[in-house]
Structure formats: C-alpha cells, structure tokens
Amino acid sequence: MFEEILKSTSGTAGEALETRAYNKMLQRYRDPLVVKAIVEAELNAAGETWESVQIYMRIKKKIQNDEISFIRAAKDAETGAKDVLSEISFYPT
C-alpha cells in the first residue's frame, strides 16, 4: 500500500524505491540470473527485457554520476550556436 502511494505521488521517489528493491534482490540472491527469473514475468508484461533493464540501469548511473548531462549538452549547443551567429553578426556579443 505504501509503495503504491509513494509511486503514484512521485515518479522519482517511486523509481528510487524500485531501484532499491532491485539492488536488494541482487544482494540477496547474488546471481543476476536468479533476479532475472524473478522479474521476468513483470518485464514481459511491460514489453521489456532483462537487457533493457541493464541498459536503463547503466544509463541511469551515468546520469547520476554526471557522465551524461542533457543540461550540459543543451548549454554547449546554445553556446556554439551563439558563437556561430556572433561570427556572422546575427547575435550581439
């Protein structure tokens, strides 16, 4: 009940709760294939695979560790565009 309320009120909190449960299963069973067997029906019902979960967890960790930043990429693109536009006198410096 608590988990459902938490997940419905905050996507980020719900995601954290699910990630914690996933990590606890990995610690408890120590074999990713056992965890895969446990969650396989849930993944299938959602149209996902074990591989997609692994990709998600890898990307999520890189975003959390600031190895991937969409904010940084957007700022870099904006700065680059402003630089190009200022070179051709379309944007004041």
Mean pLDDT within 35-42:
98
> How many Å apart are CA 38 and CA 90, to the nearest integer?
58
Structure tokens at 20: 């914690």
Residue 33 vs residues 16, 49, 53, 92: alpha-carbon distances, Å = 22, 13, 13, 58
Mean pLDDT within 37-49:
97
Mean pLDDT within 58-82:
93
Residue 50 has pLDDT above 60, yes or no: yes
Backbone angles phi, psi at 68, to 5 degrees: -120, 130
10 Å CB burial of residue 90 (0-12, 13-18, 19+) is exposed
Residue 59 has pLDDT above 60, yes or no: yes
**Span 6-25, pLDDT tens digits:** 656 667 878 888 999 999 99
Residue 82 has pLDDT above 70, yes or no: yes
